[in-house]
């Protein structure tokens, strides 16, 4: 036997993978892709628009002032009259509130019904659809009324804000 070497009874290993290993590798790649997608989506979650704080404890009513919610901006949808935005009357208030939304030039876009303490308005229905863009110096006007038969006017307020229309 010159120069040749034979081994009997032994098989040579091939460099190919078994079907089970290939399936596991594919599943691993899919799992990594799903996890990466979930992480990316979690980072892109849109924060709630103008979140309202939840009240879990009884609220003491104000007797010497009125709490009016402030906003820096309000999101609206372009080309639609019906919006998702609502406005609330904080539960500590002792009065009705009527809110209205106006453009800088005084155009009234919306006026609410009277809002009871601890309640929110119906969703905003605009008097005119808005084009996309930012409407700076818009005004959220609050009118306040006693909860009596005469609805006696109380102090109100105005909040300058930006309407972000998308």
Largest interatomic CA distance in the chain? 120
- 10, 12, 141 from 104: Cα distances, Å: 89, 84, 12
- Return phi, psi of residue 79, to 5°: 75, 5
Please write the tens of the pLDDT for every residue from 14-55.
555 677 777 877 777 776 766 766 666 655 544 445 544 444
Please tell me whether residues 78 and 136 are part of one structural domain: yes
Per the structure, how many domains does the chain have?
Answer: 2
Please tell me whether residues 35 and 103 are part of one structural domain: no
Q: Which pLDDT value is given to residue 53?
A: 45
Q: Is the pLDDT of residue 124 over 50?
A: yes
- Give domain status of residue 7, yes or no: no
**The overall pTM is greater than 0.75:** no
CA–CA dist 156, 140 (Å, integer): 11
Please tell me whether residues 77 and 43 are part of one structural domain: no
Considering only CA atoms, which of 145, 146, 143 is closest in space to residue 157?
Answer: 143
Q: What is the CATH number of the domain that holds 104?
A: 2.60.40.2550
CA–CA dist 144, 95 (Å, integer): 6
> 91 lies in which domain range?
73-165
CA–CA dist 104, 136 (Å, integer): 7
17 Cβ partners below 8 Å, 6+ apart? Answer: 25
């Amino acid at each position: 036997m010159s120069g040749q070497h034979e081994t009997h009874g032994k098989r040579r290993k091939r460099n190919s993978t078994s079907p089970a290993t290939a399936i596991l590798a594919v599943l691993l790649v899919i799992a990594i892709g799903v996890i990466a997608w979930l992480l990316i989506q979690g980072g892109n979650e849109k924060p709630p628009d103008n979140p309202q704080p939840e009240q879990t404890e009884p609220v003491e009513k104000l007797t010497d002032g009125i709490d009016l919610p402030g906003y820096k901006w309000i999101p609206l949808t372009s080309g639609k009259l019906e919006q998702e935005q609502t406005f609330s009357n904080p539960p500590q208030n002792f009065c009705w509130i009527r809110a209205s939304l106006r453009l800088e030039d005084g155009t009234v876009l919306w006026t609410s019904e009277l809002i009871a303490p601890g309640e929110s308005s119906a969703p905003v229905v605009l008097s005119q659809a808005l084009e996309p863009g930012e409407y700076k110096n818009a005004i959220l006007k609050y009118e306040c009324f006693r909860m009596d038969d005469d609805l006696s006017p109380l102090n109100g307020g105005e909040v300058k804000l930006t309407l972000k229309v998308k």
